[in-house]
Amino acid sequence: MRSAVASLTALSLLLASCGGGGGGSNGGGGPITVAPTPSPTPTPTPGCGLAARQSFAKAVIDEWYLFPSDVASGVNPASFSSVDAYIDALVAPARALGKDRFFTYITSIAEENAFFASGSSAGFGIRLTYDPAASQVVIAEAYEGAPAIAAGIDRSTRILAIGTTASNMRTIAAIVTAEGTQGITNALGPSDPGVTRILRIQDSAGTRDVTVTKADYSLDPISDRYGAKIITEGGRNYGYLNLRTFISSANPQLRAAFLNFRNQGVTDVIIDFRYNGGGLVSTAELMGDLMGDGRSGSLFSQTVFRPSKTAQNDEHRFAPTAESIAPTRIAFIGTGSTASASELVINSMLPYLGTNMTLVGSNTFGKPVGQIALDKAECDDRMRVVAFATANSTGAGDYYNGLAPKIANSCAAGDDLSLPLGDAREASVRAAIDFLANGSCTTRIADASVGPAAQGSNVRVLAEPEMLVPDRPSAAQRELPGLF
């Protein structure tokens, strides 16, 4: 049964990003978010000065923080020149214990609302990884309808140099030598429409310079190119679904994808979450429902608040729809960029599938906690604070070290950027199909060595691409690590 959380109007139930693929100290951390009841929410000091905003942040932490004994005492707000720095100091003890890996922060209400409604963002519309061996940036994914793909930039394209004019191009190697990987973010410029950069790129067509201008675009959460498809092999059909992020516009696409699976008699499914940093809990719950045929009323997931807020505890039970399937086997593809809502779905399906489920690729980020979101509207401030833990039907939810250790038959595999997503030849998709066909894995994630080549061993996989994440990511970058 829904608790009072479900009726809250301050914000939709959210589960957000963790990022984790690389970048600065704040490369991870978005919300698993529940909107708490408006009363007794803190009453911040009027105005939008630094002191008033800091007071608002502190009041939210004092009332809602999941780890109240791990909040620093005696922190003087006057010693900090920003709200972010003050929040960092308050929750530093919890971060030192690995409980709050930059999941508590302040962000923009308008920016977040735009993203969670339709994936609205401004930029080139690409996900970037950094290849330190080659000192190059490699595109992991490009979004339809965004500027980069219109300029011929897609998965596997390499960026060799960046400039604002043809005369001031700097190689990636020179940028990183001078400024570290954060320098790449700086060189690409702010995420504002109209920002133009010249990129020297390399792909199968050769090396060339292209001019790309950042623009507003809406992210398609399930790609029309490869996001939902049937892979037929050996006389069997496998459903493949690549969900980029959990936003509300994904819901009708998910329903359509699973209806197709149902109509095609698919019971073996590949769910590709490799770059999915999280998003809306309501969409995660819908995914559970769409894989819950025959499980109506069984417990999917639960959320637990601190002892003083137990009235907010919540659970979701499977509510199958006309599009739902009863999967026989599921292979989830994950990486260190797989977080939050993605992990909730994986963890929640584990009790029902056991050894008929696997995690393919590498270990996930590890975010079994969630945030509430409280707004200081006059300042466009949204305070996100870790306020609850998530668990599956057995109560298991302590996966701060990722989900791979919880899944006995996980399958180690690389993320082969040279092949399209959804391609049966791509390393992780190949391993997923093999598991679905045979029910076993060659190598568990925990047992795999990571290196540049197989070197004669069948237990060595390619290293996971390092996602580029700014020191202070935007709302969209928290949900989509590597987004620019």
Q: Which domain holds residue 236?
A: 228-366+390-461
Within-domain flag for 481:
no
Domain C-terminal end among 69, 85, 118? 118
Residues with Cβ within 8 Å of residue 452, at least 6 apart in sequence: 133, 462, 463
Residues with Cβ within 8 Å of residue 193, at least 6 apart in sequence: 122, 214, 215, 216
Residues 347 and 288 in one domain: yes
Residues 113 and 128 in one domain: no
Q: So what's the pLDDT on residue 102? A: 86
The CA distances from residue 396 to 295, 303, 351, 399, in Å, are 19, 11, 9, 8
The arithmetic mean of pLDDT across residues 372-379, rounded, is: 92
CATH of the domain at 274: 3.90.226.10
Residue-averaged pLDDT of the chain:
87
Q: How many domains does the chain have?
A: 3
Residues 172 and 267 in one domain: no
Residues 425 and 457 in one domain: yes
Residues 210 and 236 in one domain: no
Within-domain flag for 56:
yes
Domain C-terminal end among 56, 85, 118? 118
The CA distances from residue 1 to 284, 299, 305, 313, 315, in Å, are 17, 10, 16, 11, 7
Instruction: Tell me the pLDDT band of 122, cut-offs 50, 70 and 90.
Output: confident
Domain C-terminal end among 156, 189, 218? 218
Residues 205 and 232 in one domain: no
Structural tokens at position 154: 């897609």
Within-domain flag for 374:
no
Within-domain flag for 422:
yes
Residues 130 and 93 in one domain: no
Residues 331 and 407 in one domain: yes
Within-domain flag for 385:
no
CATH of the domain at 202: 2.30.42.10
Instruction: Give the span between the Cα atoms of 479 and 373, in whole angstroms.
Output: 15
Residues 253 and 273 in one domain: yes
> 281-290 and 341-353 helices cross at what angle (nearest 10)?
30
CB 15 within 8 A of CB 31: yes
Q: Where does 91-229 have alpha helices with state H?
A: 92-96, 109-118, 147-150, 172-179, 182-188
Global confidence as pTM = 0.86
pLDDT digits (tens, 9 = 90+) for 132-181: 989 999 999 999 999 999 999 999 999 999 999 999 999 999 999 999 99
Q: So what's the pLDDT on residue 96? A: 95
Structural tokens at position 315: 């659970």
From the number of C-beta atoms within 10 Å of its C-beta (0-12, 13-18, 19+), residue 45 rates as middle
Within-domain flag for 213:
yes
Residues 72 and 126 in one domain: no
Residues 106 and 134 in one domain: no
Residues 276 and 352 in one domain: yes
SS3 438: helix
pLDDT digits (tens, 9 = 90+) for 385-419: 999 999 999 999 999 999 999 998 899 999 999 99
Closest CA to 393 of 333, 341, 350, 427: 350
Within-domain flag for 384:
no
Within-domain flag for 473:
no
Instruction: Give the span between the Cα atoms of 22 and 471, in whole angstroms.
Output: 10
